[in-house]
């Protein structure tokens, strides 16, 4: 029994799923306000001065602060059922099923929000590790529980939940620099569906899905 670790956005899916969910879940008035408040962050990201992880964290704070958790969770369920199926890579789903047929443990490890990724993974009986929004008395605070699940945080949570020496082989599939630490844990590393020996083979950091 081996372990197979899959990134979600750009690996299992063809594109980003975080931003479209924000557009769905954040009310139009707050979205309009957010565009103004987040303008410096967007510019900083384009200039390479603000990481994607930091940008997501700030956007979630602006978009979800004091939002009713139950309503956002319902939107997450709907998004998982109606929108995510249109974004999936058939080849990725086939690879997941291949691992399952081998008796492997398959885990989705992503910065995507639990509000929708959890729903999708549960519907497919897949364990998952992802970003979780903090709740207090039925409302979202806009903060993350244990931070954004990307980069080193992905590796930390994997090591926290799985005893890697138990598995003869560890596979990891990713598509961006945010997967580097997760890929480093694996014996078989796949970057944008091409097997690599190490990160030194990665020569570009274009947007996931491209």
CA-closest candidate to residue 169, choices 2, 42, 22, 8: 2
**Furthest C-alpha separation in the chain:** 52
Q: In terms of pTM, does the model score above 0.75?
A: yes
SS (HEC) of the chain:
CCEEEECCCCCCECCCCHHHHHHHHCCHHHHHHHHHHCHHHHHHHHCCCCCHHHHHHHHHHHHHCCCEHHHHHHHHHHHHHHCHHHCECHHHHHHHHHHHHCCCEEEEEEEEEHHHHHHHHHHCCCCEEEEEEEEECCEEEEEEECCCCCCHHHHHHHHHHCCHHHCCCEEEEECCHHHHHHHHCCCEEEECCEEECCHHHCCCCCCCCC
- What is the average per-residue pLDDT within 163-186? 97
- What is the average per-residue pLDDT within 73-79? 97
pLDDT for residue 56: 77
Averaged pLDDT score across all residues of the chain = 88
116 against 61, higher pLDDT: 116
Please state, for a pLDDT cut of 90, what percent of the chain lies above it.
71
> At a CB cut-off of 8 Å and minimum separation 6, what does 164 contact?
3, 158, 170, 185
Query: What tokens were used for 169?
Result: 């082989």
Lowest mean pLDDT among 8-17, 178-187, 188-197, 201-210: 201-210
**CA-CA distance, 128 to 118, in Å (whole number)?**
7
Task: Give residue-wise pLDDT tens across range 33-48.
Answer: 555 455 554 555 565 6
pLDDT for residue 51: 67
**Counting beta carbons within 10 angstroms of the beta carbon of residue 36, is it exposed (0 to 12), middle (13 to 18) or buried (19 or more)?**
exposed
- 3-201, which class in CATH? alpha beta
């Amino acid at each position: 029994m081996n372990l197979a670790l899959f990134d979600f956005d750009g690996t299992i899916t063809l594109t980003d799923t975080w931003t479209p969910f924000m557009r769905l879940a954040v009310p139009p008035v707050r979205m309009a306000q957010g565009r103004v408040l987040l303008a410096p962050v967007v510019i900083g990201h384009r200039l390479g001065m603000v990481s994607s992880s930091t940008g997501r964290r700030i956007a979630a704070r602006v978009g979800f602060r004091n939002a009713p958790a139950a309503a956002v969770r319902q939107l997450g369920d709907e998004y998982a059922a109606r929108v995510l199926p249109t974004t999936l890579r058939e080849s990725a789903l086939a690879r997941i099923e291949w691992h399952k047929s081998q008796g492997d443990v398959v885990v989705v490890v992503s910065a995507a929000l639990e509000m929708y990724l959890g729903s999708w993974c549960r519907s497919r009986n897949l364990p998952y590790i992802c970003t979780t929004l903090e709740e207090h008395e039925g409302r979202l605070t806009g903060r993350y529980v244990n931070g954004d699940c990307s980069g080193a945080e992905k590796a930390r949570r994997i090591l926290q939940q799985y005893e890697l020496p138990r598995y003869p082989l560890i596979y990891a599939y990713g598509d961006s620099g945010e997967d580097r630490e997760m890929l480093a844990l694996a014996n078989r590393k796949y970057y944008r569906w091409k097997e690599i020996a190490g990160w030194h083979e990665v020569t570009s950091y274009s947007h996931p899905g491209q």
